[in-house]
Structure 1
């Protein structure tokens, strides 16, 4: 009878464990690793705090170091374990000197670390075969502008690079999961290859080993210290390598945006980066509301391959007669900017023609500090002035209420009754939406038809 009771208790224990695993599948390997069939204690580190998934074991069952720079307890369940690779994969481990330069290039010091919104940011598409199949889900915070810049290159690949595909909006909505992955790999590889001056690209991935230890002059984050760097000498090889390791960039918990930013900096090299920047811009991120925003140099590095800190054409002399570095060449994806607190003349003079008129009709947009994307499916739009008289643009702002990109019809005919009415100019912001004002920085005389959509943003 005693044996029967024991068997009954064992059965109940197993049922309870099975029930928990069904709701917490991502902890499956932690349960197995810690033997929770007989002991339900949650593993703790030497500080007595609960150990997160990325401190215990990765998705392939490789044990991870404990008690090292874990995330705050409030975010343990929000950021799952990152995708990591074997330390025997053949890359070059990061050194303390490299980690220090990386931190200084980003923050201007070695003490700051990325905020929570950066750590949880990665590259995730909306559902395939949907109105937003070609778009990334973007969050809030400083990483958003990088996600939107990459979005521009994804659109470039899907619309204008794929062979045997029609260049129309419907083809974008018919994108499959595999096509999403291929487009993301192509976008990331193309950006890194351009940053490496078309000579080589460097891809950073996280391993299970820690190569750099914290010290009074360097604050570790249990992520940067585990990097390995992989150098690729061909663009095609870079794309294939990223595609083979795409889970590191597109899975939750992988710090995918940070990983891409690291790869971007190492591809550019610290030496080139120093030459790109000027005296007024010595690092790439700026503190904002408890987090960090990208300076223009980061966006320009993604768009043009150079970390130019300004958006005007060429170089100019500053107020102190120092040389300020702007944009030297046209890029595939352009840039438009509009801010409600800036005068129209300042807006029009800020962004140069090289960014306003890219090689392809795709623009990363900054509207009152919010990133978005504007594009046309007509590859020749910017090559034929006749095509710019009346044309359609698609706008994706990444806001949750937006269920599909908005189709805008732009008419650049001269409308004197619109242009000369009282309230135009500085007062136009009260009559037109910020999206319309942004478009007018490129096509000054334009009127915009929202085709039934209520103007927003």
Structure 2
């Protein structure tokens, strides 16, 4: 009996020793990982924001983007922080940002110089879904106020892939056959095109983060540690704009790149503050509005991406407000349109109603604002909006940008059969309870349409 107990004790001790050894090995593994990424307690920031020399553990590639050896980005300072952005060499000879420029940026975006971008904005960038998949054309979009900008860019990506890309047939199958290289080319082309349109087809300005700091804190300005490190690159040709973005695409599509913010900065500098001031009116004096600890895009930002002009309203032309002030709407049709459904549409407020300029774009693609959530509706038929016979029975595709969506929504629209509206006196509130928000959004364009989800359960 004693031998049996002794044997059990030895076995138990052996197991304890093995468990301790396993845990030590596990800790050593994580210590090595932390050391490699410089996440340990004795971590120091590797970059010198004030100096011009390159730290010994960084390398510079041919595009001027700086990377730590063996890594794509500068190391993060904590597990929960956003990775530091890819930065470029200050030797690329862009124009360093000035305090006056920074103050003008913040005033135009936030209406003051005290606010800075929230966490969800800083982590937002342009990332595609898996290539050669059902959603190979689609961007992954996170939560927060940057979603509207990402989905407006998404609409332009669909436009490029279906209708303006040379040498490719624009059909639904082609969207699933996109390679990583084609994704990159699409993003560079689209971002350049949007900036070029904002610059009135005369010039575009691109903002990138460098290793140097050009603006110090003042009593009226608090640093955010990336805006102060910008250089501005101006281009007088669209093709040169596209090539520069493609060469520095990691600055917009890399994790922690602040890619969406850099795009917004580039958009404002391309538009110029002078043009921006003329675009806006008394209803919109700045482009972002505070919301639940973050910031949401005002309509002017979305319209600037869609049309090149920061029109603050969705109606056609100019209208008089409640106090006879002149309000600015959309002046011309653009390639990509806009639809919305929500409380404002239920109120019947004429100033919240989307005008025909946005409802009927030159190409059948719409950015949709559905109860504050952004999505894209589109057709692969270029003639849909130019031949009335095409609008009797047609297909639309729906991308919600929600993480759970793995395939495009496929909807068939019938505008000549409308059993959904048997009671002609039914109010909009009753219709909203019976039909999905997507269907109600589509009916702001085709009022009495019947919508078939082709066997799928209506979502969004």
Fold similarity call, TM over 0.5: yes
1:178 equivalenced with 2:181 (yes/no) = yes
1:326 equivalenced with 2:329 (yes/no) = yes
Cα offset, 1:341, TM superposition: 6.0
- The Cα RMSD (Å) is 2.6
Distance 1:132 1:320, change over 3 A: same
CA distance in 1, matches of 2:325, 2:351: 23
1:374 equivalenced with 2:370 (yes/no) = no
Query: Match of 2:73?
Result: none
The within-5 A match list for 1:45-124 is: 51=45, 60=59, 77-124=80-127
> Where does structure 2 lack aligned partners over 5 or more consecutive residues?
1-24, 61-65, 69-75
CA deviation map 1:5-37 (0-9, x unaligned): xxxxxxxxxx9998448756xx73648xxxxxx
Distance 1:41 1:350, change over 3 A: closer
Query: Match of 1:193?
Result: 196
The within-5 A match list for 1:41-440 is: 41-44=41-44, 51=45, 60=59, 77-340=80-343, 342-343=345-346, 345-346=348-349, 350-415=353-418, 418-420=421-423, 423=426, 425-440=428-443
Distance 1:53 1:118, change over 3 A: farther
Counterpart of 1:218 in 2: which secondary structure? coil
CA distance in 1, matches of 2:420, 2:249: 53
Distance 1:447 1:344, change over 3 A: farther
Distance 1:59 1:82, change over 3 A: farther
CA deviation map 1:238-263 (0-9, x unaligned): 11110010000000111000000000
Cα offset, 1:393, TM superposition: 0.4
CA distance in 2, matches of 1:63, 1:339: 45
- TM-score by length of structure 2 reads 0.86
CA deviation map 1:354-403 (0-9, x unaligned): 00011111100000000001100111110100001110000001111111
Between structure 1 and structure 2, the one with the greater Rg is 2
CA distance in 2, matches of 1:304, 1:433: 29
Give yes or no for contact 2:415–2:448 (8 Å, CA) kept in 1: yes
Query: Match of 2:15?
Result: none
CA distance in 1, matches of 2:210, 2:341: 41
Give yes or no for contact 2:313–2:351 (8 Å, CA) kept in 1: no
Cα offset, 1:418, TM superposition: 3.0
Query: Match of 1:28?
Result: 36
Distance 1:78 1:393, change over 3 A: farther
Cα offset, 1:423, TM superposition: 4.3
> Where does structure 1 lack aligned partners over 5 or more consecutive residues?
1-14, 32-39, 45-50, 65-71
CA distance in 2, matches of 1:359, 1:109: 37
Cα offset, 1:279, TM superposition: 1.6
Cα offset, 1:419, TM superposition: 4.2
Distance 1:433 1:329, change over 3 A: same
Counterpart of 1:166 in 2: which secondary structure? coil
- TM-score by length of structure 1 reads 0.86
CA deviation map 1:318-352 (0-9, x unaligned): 11111100001111111000004642744896101
Give yes or no for contact 2:163–2:170 (8 Å, CA) kept in 1: yes
